[in-house]
Amino acid sequence: MIINDNLSEDEKIVVDRGFFFGKGLFETMLVKNNNILFLKEHMERINEGLKIIGIDKKIGSKEVIDSLKKLSFTDGVLKLVVSEKNTVFTCRKNNYTEDMYNKGFKLKISELKRNKYSTITYLKSLNYLDNILEHDRCKREGYDEVLFLNTDNEITEGSVSNIFFIKNNIIYTTRVECGLLNGTIRKYILKKYNVIEGSFRMEQLMEADEIFVTNSIMGIMPVSKIEDKVFKEKDMVYSIINDYREYVSSS
C-alpha cells in the first residue's frame, strides 16, 4: 500500500527529477506498537539533506505519524521517499529474525570503492543502485551484508549498515569523513558508549575481538564471519544488543 500527497485514486507517482535522475531522499523507520523509533533523528537527517540537494520541502513529524493512521500500520518498517513533487509513504514487515541475531551476519568485501569526496555518499539518496546491486550479489553468494572500502582503502560502511568493531573492550568505528552515511543507530551507539572514531584498514578490522553492524531496522547485529575469518566472541555485542532492546522497549 502507498500514500503519496500527490497520488490519484490510481496511485500514480508524479514524474520529476527524482524519477529520472534520483534527485530525492528516503528514510526507513522502525515502528513498534504504533511508535516510530528515532523519529526526531530521521526528520532531522532528511530535512538537512533536502536543503543540501535543493528541494524546498520540510517534512514534519506529524505528517509521518499521520501516515501510520492512513496506512492502518502499527508494527514493521515505514519508508518515506521525498522528491521534488512527491512525498511517499510505504510500509512492510520487518524481515530480521531472532535466528539472524543468534547466528550473526556473514560479511564479504566489495570490489567497489566509496568516493569520500562525493556529496551523495553522505546522503540517503535515491542514487542507491551501487548498494542494491552489491547487496543482491552478496546474498546470492551466501553472505548477509557487503562492506565497502573507500579509494584510500579505508573501511567505510556496509550496503545497508554502519560497522563497529571491538578490541580489548574498546569500541571503534569509522569516522564519517571516510565516506559513509551517519546512521541513526550509529548516532545512538556514539551517544551511549565511549567509541573511538578513526580511519581504519581491513587489517585492523580482521584483528578485532568482536564486530557488529547497525541500521535503524535491524538495530544491532553481531558479525560472525568476514569472508573466511570467523569471529566467535560476541559477549560484549550481546550486552550492547540487550541494552538497545531495553531502550526500545521503554521508548
| Mean pLDDT score of the chain | 94
Sign of CA dihedral 109, 206, 241, 46: negative
- Domain 2-92 annotated CATH 3.40.50.720: no
**In angstroms, how far is the first alpha carbon of the chain from the final one?**
27
Query: Is residue 220 classed as helix, strand or coil in its secondary structure?
Result: strand
Query: Taking a C-beta distance cutoff of 8 angstroms, is the pair 222, 242 a contact?
Result: no
Residues 6+ apart with CB under 8 A from 126: 18, 22, 23, 24, 25, 26, 81, 83
Residue with cell 539533506: 49
Task: Give the pLDDT confidence score for residue 15 in this predicted structure.
Answer: 83
Q: How far apart are CA 43 and CA 80, in angstroms?
A: 10
Task: Give the pLDDT confidence score for residue 206 in this predicted structure.
Answer: 97
The residue type at 91: C
Q: How far apart are CA 211 and CA 189, in angstroms?
A: 13
Q: Where are the domains of the chain?
A: 2-92, 98-250
Residues 6+ apart with CB under 8 A from 184: 38, 41, 42, 45, 216
HEC readout, 145-189: EEEEEECCCCEEEECCCEEEEEECCEEEEECHHHCCCCCHHHHHH
Residue with cell 513529524: 61
Task: Give the pLDDT confidence score for residue 82 in this predicted structure.
Answer: 96
CATH architecture of 98-250: Alpha-Beta Barrel (3.20)
Closest CA to 78 of 61, 66, 90: 90
Query: Taking a C-beta distance cutoff of 8 angstroms, is the pair 208, 165 a contact?
Result: yes
Could you read off the pLDDT of 61-106 as tens digits, one per residue? 999 999 998 999 999 999 999 999 999 999 999 999 999 999 999 9
pLDDT tens digits, the chain, 251 residues: what are they? 455 555 544 556 788 899 889 999 999 999 999 999 999 999 999 999 999 999 999 999 999 999 998 999 999 999 999 999 999 999 999 999 999 999 999 999 999 999 999 999 999 999 999 999 999 999 999 999 999 999 999 999 999 999 999 999 999 999 999 999 999 999 999 999 999 999 999 999 999 999 999 999 999 999 999 999 999 999 999 999 999 999 998 87
Q: How far apart are CA 244 and CA 58, in angstroms?
A: 30
- CA torsion angle 141 147 148 153 (round to 10): -110
